[in-house]
């Protein structure tokens, strides 16, 4: 977004371009015959200097200045948490987040979302009030490397992205089919095979689970599809009916044998609901990236 000073400069250049033009080299600029009345004179075209870009997302520019400021803010935030992050990782994360935000904002606009200047002004006034006044907000903007125009642009896009994010996660239902699962976790393949043989011979699952884990007694609780990090356990659980147990499932943690205790539609826990919302958003962004034209500039 050009500043008022730049706009004024361009306007002055445009006005001065309408003045008298010098004649061709070698002619007398005072002589009335130096320029033929039929020969048109071309006005020079002012070409705006393109903004240096870190990336183009469906033709929309993510400026290098914005990208570099985001990297600086990300590294500062990590430092405040006592964490270290390399320049390369910070750059990858910052650019990825800016691209995701741009995709969300573009989708919001396609869905009819619109934030007028008055609403944006009201949001900035609200932010200033929360921070202790306009001067406090201005000081924060300066510390974060924002110009006023840059902050307005960033906030506008962030609000549009947040609106689209809310539309996506709102589609996740608060209930889902879930399974109640218990497990026997072992750390030796031979022992796991032995326990499976005992179960197949009729041993009680609960007794064996309590033997190997007296604290939790093998309780994994309820979970929906798409929640567990260990997809092998989840796939096995949803392939079983209540009362059935699995074969040995090998994961990075160990060797698992699971039993489904119950299976029904029920309300999601807060943690599961948030996890499924995050998965929905991540899936949407992955699909949108595949459908979009994203160009990274050196």
Segment among 44-48, 49-53, 59-63 with least mean pLDDT: 44-48
Q: Please, what is the average pLDDT of the chain?
A: 85
The pLDDT, as a whole number, for residue 11 is 29
Domain ranges of the chain: 1-49, 53-169, 176-266
Residues 196 and 156: their CA atoms lie apart, in Å, by 58
pLDDT band at 46 (very low <50, low <70, confident <90, very high): low
d(CA 74, CA 86): 11
CB atoms within 10 A of CB 236: 21
Q: Which residues contact 267 (CB under 8 A, 6 or more apart)?
A: 174, 175
What is the torsional sign of CA 94, 97, 103, 105? negative
Per-residue confidence (pLDDT) for residue 34, from 0 to 100: 36
**In the CATH hierarchy, which fold is given to the domain comprising 176-266?**
Chitinase A; domain 3 (3.10.50)
Confidence category of residue 187, pLDDT binned at 50, 70, 90:
very high
CATH class of the structural domain 53-169: mainly alpha
Q: What is the pLDDT of residue 48?
A: 61
**What is the arithmetic mean of pLDDT over 108-137?**
94
Rounded to 5 degrees, what angle do the CA atoms 114, 119, 121 make? 130
pLDDT of 191 higher than 80: yes
Rounded Cα–Cα distance for residues 127 and 233 (Å): 46
Q: How far apart are CA 66 and CA 211, in angstroms?
A: 58
Query: How far is residue 176's CA from residue 172's CA, in Å, rounded to a whole number?
Result: 9
Which string of b and e fits 177-216 if b means at least 16 CB within 10 Å?
ebbbbbbbbbeeeeebeebbeebeeeeebeebbbebeeee
HSE-up of 81 (CA within 13 Å, CB side)? 8
Q: What is the pLDDT of residue 33?
A: 32
Confidence band, pLDDT 50/70/90 cuts, at residue 49? low
Closest C-alpha among 281, 276, 264, 279 to residue 173: 276
């Amino acid at each position: 977004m050009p500043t008022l000073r730049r706009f004024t400069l361009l306007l002055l250049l445009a006005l001065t371009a309408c003045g008298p033009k010098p004649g061709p080299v070698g002619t007398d600029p005072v002589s009335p015959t130096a320029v033929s009345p039929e020969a048109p004179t071309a006005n020079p075209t002012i070409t705006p200097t393109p903004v240096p870009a870190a990336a183009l997302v469906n033709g929309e520019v993510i400026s290098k200045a914005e990208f570099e400021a985001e990297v600086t803010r990300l590294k500062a935030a990590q430092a405040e948490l006592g964490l270290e992050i390399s320049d390369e990782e910070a750059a990858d994360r910052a650019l990825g987040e800016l691209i995701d935000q741009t995709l969300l904002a573009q989708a919001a606009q396609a869905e009819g979302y619109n934030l007028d200047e008055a609403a944006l002004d009201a949001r900035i006034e609200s932010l200033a009030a929360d921070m202790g006044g306009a001067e406090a907000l201005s000081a924060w903007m300066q510390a974060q490397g924002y110009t006023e125009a840059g902050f307005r642009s960033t906030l506008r896009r962030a609000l549009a992205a947040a609106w689209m994010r809310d539309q996506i996660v709102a589609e996740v239902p608060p209930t889902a089919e879930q399974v109640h699962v218990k497990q026997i976790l072992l750390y030796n393949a031979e022992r796991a095979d032995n326990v499976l043989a005992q179960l197949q011979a009729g041993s009680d699952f609960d007794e064996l689970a309590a033997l190997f884990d007296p604290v939790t007694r093998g309780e994994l609780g309820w979970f929906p599809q798409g929640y567990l990090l260990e997809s092998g356990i989840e796939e096995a659980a949803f392939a079983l009916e209540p009362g059935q147990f699995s074969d040995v499932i090998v994961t990075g943690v160990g060797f698992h044998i699971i039993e489904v205790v119950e299976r029904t539609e029920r309300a999601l826990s807060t943690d599961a609901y948030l996890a499924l919302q995050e998965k929905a958003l991540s899936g949407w962004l992955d699909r949108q990236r595949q459908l979009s034209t994203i160009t990274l500039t050196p």
